[in-house]
Amino acid sequence: MDSAILTGIALEFGAPLYVYDASKIEAQYKRLTSAFNKVPHLRLNYAAKALSNLSILRFMNQLGAGLDTVSIQEVQLGLLAGFQPESIIFTPNGVSLEEIEEASALGVQINIDNLSILEQFGSKFPDVPVCIRINPHVMAGGNSNISVGHIDSKFGISIHQIPHLLRIVELTNMRINGIHMHTGSDILDIDVFLYASEILFETAKNFKDLEFIDFGSGFKVPYRPGDIETNIEELGKKLSKRFNSFCEEYGKELTLAFEPGKFLVSEAGYFLAKVNVVKQTTSTVFAGVDSGFNHLIRPMLYGASHEIVNISNPEGRERYYSVVGYICETDTFGSNRRINEISEGDILCFKNAGAYCFTMASNYNSRFRPAEVLWYQNKAHLIRKRENFDDILRNQVDVEVLKPKADQAVS
């Protein structure tokens, strides 16, 4: 999206504001399906946790995606968005047996990642098909904060526990219809990912009634011009060939599943914030915006780098700025960034703001969460209203005994 369109949207809806480009989401979806077009049965389950706005979910459903969910609330959102229960997979971590039972009762695919719950669920519901999440102990990404495949990860059942797993399946006579892994985000080394896939194929041989194998996702997207990214086309060519070969060995055509989140929506998202103040110190020029980590926490939480551009002055000369927020904590979005000259009142655009941005927003400092807009068919559609003070107070209970008495003097 160009600066003029984004500036117009900011003028119409105000800032701070999240904007999502539907055409980019669709292009990423088609890119992924095209890369794996040699596989007879492909299923892309969009990871709702990346961006769970109801309108985004409806759009994913229109594209033909399934849905990857991690909470009963995401399951309910998916059903409300129009997904059929059988196109939703429930892959929680550390939830209660009761929550898994609730999801199962809604008819979605259950994916279990620990032996305790597997045994309990299998004992109670042996006829309900279950997918098993395996931890292959392979880190396909480069950031330990967002890798979930290491040996100390809380996610998945260790490959070293396969004998125990098989004993549970045999004793409960439960039905295993899927095998799953997710090694983490920012996958760059395709050979490492393929190595992890071989572990999954080997594990799959233990189960005779599989319907699908889910390889997770975590594909790296570029965060700045010239940035490295996962070579989806190369991965598609290599994994498709190996997957089809495995299906021949297995004696049955299986579905190849992925659960892309960031890959589909990250580059489609833009976060717009207004500059409140330009502050010069002895060594730094700060651009303070009307936002903070209450709206966009990834730079502070993960050290994530979002490209920042001044859409109010796209042709201005570049200067160095540290872009900071208005939260009473250290909330630096970027230090000493080269940005076109900034004046108070300008709108700054943070790119790659589609994934894990609004969904991680909060009301810290009693600030309102921003509005969301979907740019669809060359028109801006409001898909979430900006919060107001009533939203801050909603669900709070004003305890009667703490209220001042009518005759109590105010000091």
Q: Which residues are catalytic?
A: 328
Geometric angle at alpha carbon 222, from 233 and 316, rounded to 5°: 140
Which candidate, 232, 214, 74, 219, places its Cα nearest to that of 156? Answer: 214
- From the DSSP assignment, how many helices (H) and strands (E) are in the chain? 12, 18
Helices 54-63 and 22-35: angle between axes, nearest 10 degrees: 40
Say how far apart CA 12 and CA 9 lie, in whole Å. 5
Q: Residue 289 belongs to what H/E stretch? A: strand 285-289
Say how far apart CA 144 and CA 141 lie, in whole Å. 8
Q: Which long-range contacts (CB under 8 A, 24 or more apart) does 297-303 make?
A: 297/360, 297/361, 297/362, 298/356, 298/357, 298/360, 299/332, 299/333, 299/334, 300/330, 300/331, 300/332, 301/145, 301/360, 302/143, 302/145, 302/146, 303/145
Q: Using an 8 Å Cβ cutoff, are 260 and 46 in contact?
A: yes
Say how far apart CA 210 and CA 43 lie, in whole Å. 15
Say how far apart CA 335 and CA 102 lie, in whole Å. 46
Contacts of 296 (CB under 8 A, 6+ apart): 271, 306, 333, 350, 353, 357, 361
Say how far apart CA 311 and CA 73 lie, in whole Å. 36
For 149-162, give the DSSP string: -STT-SSSEEGGGH
How many Å is the Cα radius of gyration of the chain? 24
For 181-227, give the DSSP string: ---BS-B--HHHHHHHHHHHHHHHTT-SS--EEE----B---SSTT-
β strands within 232-268, DSSP E: 255-258
